Chains A and B, each alone.
Chain A
Amino acid sequence: MSTATRSLPRTIGAHAILLTYTAIALCPVILVIMNSFKSRAGIFGAPLTPPTPKTFDLIGYTTVFGQGDFIHYFQNSLVVTVASLFFVLLFGAMAGFSLSEYRFRGNTMMGLYLALGIMIPIRLGTVAILQLMVASGLVNTLTALILVYTAQGLPLAIFILSEFMKQVSDDLKNAGRIDGLSEYTIFFRLVLPLVRPAMATVAVFTMIPIWNDLWFPLILAPSEETKTVTLGAQLFLGQFVTNWNAILAALSLAILPVLILYVIFSRQLIRGITSGAVK
């Protein structure tokens, strides 16, 4: 059909540019992971070659596991991310449903009010958030992080989910009402299952910034018991500046879980972005 737009040199050119950029995007990551499996001599002697039997060494990993309490940090990150995600999805879906389903005075105003937070970063309120947490005794608890991340994730979640809930058929909901279902049952049993793909999209969008955040763990929960893996890695890297084996191993350990999750969920994420969810 569109033969006019395709020619061999053009296709080769497109692949050349895309391949070059793919290499630029992936090389640093590969370089770090590759060198984390080498001895110190291997890291400095031949940084660009994969580990050979001669340079293969796990000293970096043994240092990391011997020093930092990474399993504990990892648990903290997991608790914070999963709990925030749960509340963002539940509260976001509920609010999105009421905004898209019911006509009431102030509906539009409420929508705009909740959408404010999409553009204005929550970080700018840090000074008052810290005072609030100090006053309520929540400093250095995971609860503080969960509350802040829930507030941070809600605006976009409500916006996206209410867009999707508008597409759920009215006939279905009205049929439920005629059968005597309560509004709560209609929401939890009829609507929620239908917007599951949108929920997955929102989940991915919400999860990445929470897992990777450094600012709020640094300010609200820097204690040893509540450190997240991002903050733990940052402090660990700061301490071991000269131990390249340990640094590269710690970096690889921080990259791998995210990378594995990404490979599993990338189709979902990309479909979410390209389906116009964030128009």
Chain B
Amino acid sequence: MASEPMAAATRPKRPIRWHIAVFLAPAVLVYTAFMILPLAGTLQLSLFRNVEQHQVFVGLGNFRTLFGDPNWSVNFWNALRNNVWFFIIHMLVQNPIGILLAALLSSPRLRFAAFYRTAIFVPTILSFVIVGFAWKLILSPLWGVAPHLMDLVGLKSLFTPWLGKEEYALTALSLVSVWQFVGIPMMLIYAALLSIPDEVIEAAECDGITGLSQFWKIKLPLILPSIGIISILTFVGNFNAFDLIYTAQGALAGPNYSTDILGTFLYRAFFGFQLQVGDPNMGAAIATIMFLIILAGVCVYLFLVQTRLRRYQF
């Protein structure tokens, strides 16, 4: 787009290299029109309010409503809190399990490694609709699969209909989401472990560092950049999540909003649900908050985590 006059300016004797523009134009046009401009438009909409069919500029008024007006703020803070808990569970359960599985998979001459890899990645390719509903059925007290399975290990007394209880539903759904996505950290860490040069491992073995201490002292520091990447991917994915909650609990994120996260809150605010009327401006305000949260996370990652970790890379 803007590239070809600039290119011509640097080398005045050369003809304009139109092919650069032709190669870039389709991607830049589609990307700008359907991603960048709508994002900017959403940020802009969050500063307006619809008063008698007219968009009126209200500055940060929508955000004041969102944070302060009890009609909105109770739900907003609840959704934000739930979203943070959703993220914490992923960081504490999904990523350690992913690292453990990757470490086991990458052990030398392990048989059936390809089979394990393929099988453990299966849930990740399934759609949220399948995952949400399948787990809803499995955890349902009507079907009785979960209590039956727990009976086999003598824990039947611990069973409750988790998805129906306010205090457990969010944690249960977070664990379902962990079940679905554990393949991604596993694969990325596995790739990082495979890329560690054999010389490093051999040198460690010559020094008598093997087994677990080899993992903690040699491999873990070397895969820290990948752990940084999976953390930021988890962060972006979690604060943008919607589908699983919607398929399993509906747009109201029941029971009693206990599984409401920012994605479902945005959906209800934007489209309205049952008694609530949809409000695009408030929807845009919530999307803006999500944008700022994700942007903050990405900035922390880029400026703090990645620059510090780079010195470990080869």
Q: How far is the CA of A182 from the CA of B108 in the complex (A)?
A: 49
Q: Out of B7, B125, B202, which one reaches A258, CB within 8 Å?
A: B125
Mark the stretch among A62-70, A100-108, A168-176 that contacts chain B. Answer: A100-108
Q: Out of A48, A104, A120, which one reaches B291, CB within 8 Å?
A: A120
Contact with A along B190-224 (1 / 0, CB 8 A): 11001100000110010000110010000000000
Chain B contact surface mostly: helix
Output the nearest chain B residue to A122 by Cβ-Cβ distance: B35
- A152 interface residue (CB < 8 Å to B): yes
**Interface pair A4/B210, CB less than 8 Å apart:** yes
Which of under 10, 10 to 19, 20 to 34, or 35 or more describes the interface residues of B? 35 or more
Q: How far is the CA of A14 from the CA of B194 in the complex (A)?
A: 17
- B33 interface residue (CB < 8 Å to A): yes
Within 8 A of A (CB), among B237-260: 240, 242-243, 246-247
User: Among the interface residues A154, A248, A275, which one has the most CB atoms of the partner chain B within 10 A?
Assistant: A154
Q: How far is the CA of A120 from the CA of B130 in the complex (A)?
A: 26
**Interface pair A150/B145, CB less than 8 Å apart:** no
- B290 interface residue (CB < 8 Å to A): yes
Q: Out of A1, A11, A106, A230, which one reaches B129, CB within 8 Å?
A: A230
- A10 interface residue (CB < 8 Å to B): yes
Within 8 A of B (CB), among A221-245: 230, 233-234, 237, 244
**Interface pair A22/B143, CB less than 8 Å apart:** no
- Which chain B positions have C-beta within 8 A of A183? 19
**Given contacts A6-B108, A184-B19, are A247 and B27 in contact (CB under 8 A)?**
no
A-B contact pairs, 10 of them (CB 8 A): A15-B110, A21-B116, A21-B120, A25-B123, A87-B30, A98-B19, A104-B6, A124-B42, A125-B38, A127-B287
| Chain B residues close to A by CB (< 8 Å) | 2-4, 6-7, 9-10, 17, 19-20, 22-24, 26-28, 30-31, 33-42, 45, 97, 100-101, 104-105, 107-110, 112, 115-123, 125-130, 133-135, 137-138, 143-145, 148-149, 179, 182-183, 187-188, 190-191, 194-195, 201-202, 205, 210-211, 214, 229, 232, 236, 240, 242-243, 246-247, 263, 266, 270-271, 280, 283-284, 287-288, 290-291, 294-295, 298
